[in-house]
Structure 1
Amino acid sequence: MTALAEFFDVETGNQACFSISDNPSVLTDIYQDGINIAVWQRRFDQATQSDITQFIERHPTLSKSLNLSPENAYESLDFALDGQAPKALLESIAELVDMFCCLFELEHAGLRLATLNNAMCPRFHVDHVPCRLVTTYQGIATQWLPNEAVNRSKLGKGSNGLADEESGLYQHPSDIEQLTSGDVALLKGTRWEGNEETGLVHRSPNTVNNEPRLLLTLDFA
């Protein structure tokens, strides 16, 4: 699958709001007008996944927030995690910090790494940031809604206290799209110039079978 193929929804004939590919270069598509989520479909080998699982088991309440540069990301994160994180995880995160800073011409990125046992943001919402990188290293991953499926007047107070499923925010469960563990996604927020009214609508799903999530986010520092 190529990134450009996702700019046009062949089923509806509408311009798509997303771009998805197994090539990391797809992340540059976030600069395209109308694209508010770009997804790199990344997968880990069995050994790396096993190392990540063991790390989560040893750190069930992990919560770290750091300001990192591409030059110090590996060493700073290794120090913050007391030298207990597997090398493959550190290398992966350092790579994402480098990619994120390069893509947006940043000297630093704000990192948050956490083990979650419940939904951090269970309601659909938009982020009031220019763009956020989100990836789930293990566990159920982020859910999101395409622009054409959302009634934005039902976000926040517009829901009148009703659950997302009842408020009219979307019409059918099939409207909900979902990332897969390992996917790296860039989510445009409301502070991206020209995207003030179309920040990606997304939420954290509830964990399944008590399986914890290892969630990483990167923001403009």
Structure 2
Amino acid sequence: MISHSSFVVDSVQNKPTYPTDSESTILTDIYSPDHNIAIWKRTLPTESVEAIGEMLGVRKALALVKCVSPDNAAEYIQDKLSGYACTEALSEDIALIVDMFCCLFDVEEAGLRLTMLDSAMCPKFHVDQIPCRLVTTYNGIATQWLDNKDIDRSKLGRASVGIADDLSGLFNNDLAIQQMQAGDVALLKGSGWEGNESMGLVHRSPALMCNERRLLLTLDLV
């Protein structure tokens, strides 16, 4: 475990629950078998957030899907989003994140999705059937998740028999729901990670208010 990492602490059991830090190197903690999430905490520049909000306000839709490399990610985003005030800063930031992701997992490409959402994409808590996914929200409310200690996995997914998550017994109360902030970059370990088959991170897309829009970036291994 790297020494700089700070952990959010369970106030009852006084045990660390997940690694989070303002330094991007915290993302390497995803390799620890004890953690199924690692969060790089960061605050985006106000001018960038405002420019992204302006873009979302005029676009009817946005759904970019592409296998990209650190070398071509910025050019791809610039081509698809040309003419907006946010394009240069957004493309540079996405290229940086793609570079970090590829370096961390020793791969040449990543599966990129940049999507504008006006409703929850995955409203029920679930586990991804993949090794690992990077997520970051550039605008709007960010991803919600549950710590292993707070959930009953026997109530997850189809096992809930259609009952809403807050009534099924999946978690005790709303205080168990943890949430990323816009700008945060997180790695979410799925059930496809070797040795983590039954412990993938339980998470969901948050509900959006009327007329609210969200810009979500995800990166997957390809």
When normalised by structure 2's length, the TM-score is 0.93
Per the TM alignment, residue 52 of structure 1 is displaced from its structure 2 partner at its CA by: 1.1
Preserved CA contact (<8 Å) 2:124 2:205: yes
The equivalent residue for 1:58 is 58
Preserved CA contact (<8 Å) 2:8 2:20: no
| Stretches of structure 2 lacking an aligned partner (at least 5 in a row) | none
SS at match of 2:48: helix
Preserved CA contact (<8 Å) 1:55 1:86: no
SS at match of 2:218: strand
Report the Cα distance in structure 2 between the residues aligned to 1:208 and 1:26, rounded to whole angstroms: 32
When normalised by structure 1's length, the TM-score is 0.94
Q: Sort the Cα spacing of 1:3 and 1:117 in 2 relative to 1 into closer, same or farther, 3 A.
A: farther
Per the TM alignment, residue 207 of structure 1 is displaced from its structure 2 partner at its CA by: 0.7
Stretch deviating more after TM superposition (48-57 or 125-134): 48-57
Pairwise CA RMSD:
1.6
Q: Sort the Cα spacing of 1:22 and 1:220 in 2 relative to 1 into closer, same or farther, 3 A.
A: same
Q: Say whether residues 1:177 and 2:182 are aligned partners.
A: no
The equivalent residue for 2:20 is 20
Per the TM alignment, residue 182 of structure 1 is displaced from its structure 2 partner at its CA by: 0.8
C-alpha deviations, 1:4-26, integer Å up to 9, x for none? 3317645313452x211111111
The equivalent residue for 2:108 is 107
Residue identity matched to 1:195: N
The equivalent residue for 1:43 is 43
Residue identity matched to 2:57: E
- Percent same amino acid among aligned pairs? 49
C-alpha deviations, 1:143-190, integer Å up to 9, x for none? 000000010111111101100001000011100000111111100000
Per the TM alignment, residue 86 of structure 1 is displaced from its structure 2 partner at its CA by: 1.7
For 1:171-210, list aligned pairs within 5 A. 171-210=172-211
The equivalent residue for 1:167 is 168
Preserved CA contact (<8 Å) 1:124 1:202: yes
For 1:28-177, list aligned pairs within 5 A. 28-82=28-82, 84=84, 86-177=87-178
For 1:1-20, list aligned pairs within 5 A. 4-6=5-7, 9=10, 11-16=12-17, 18-20=18-20
Per the TM alignment, residue 206 of structure 1 is displaced from its structure 2 partner at its CA by: 0.8
| Stretches of structure 1 lacking an aligned partner (at least 5 in a row) | none
Report the Cα distance in structure 2 between the residues aligned to 1:182 and 1:169, rounded to whole angstroms: 28
Preserved CA contact (<8 Å) 2:6 2:21: no
SS at match of 2:111: strand
SS at match of 1:6: strand
Q: Sort the Cα spacing of 1:3 and 1:189 in 2 relative to 1 into closer, same or farther, 3 A.
A: farther
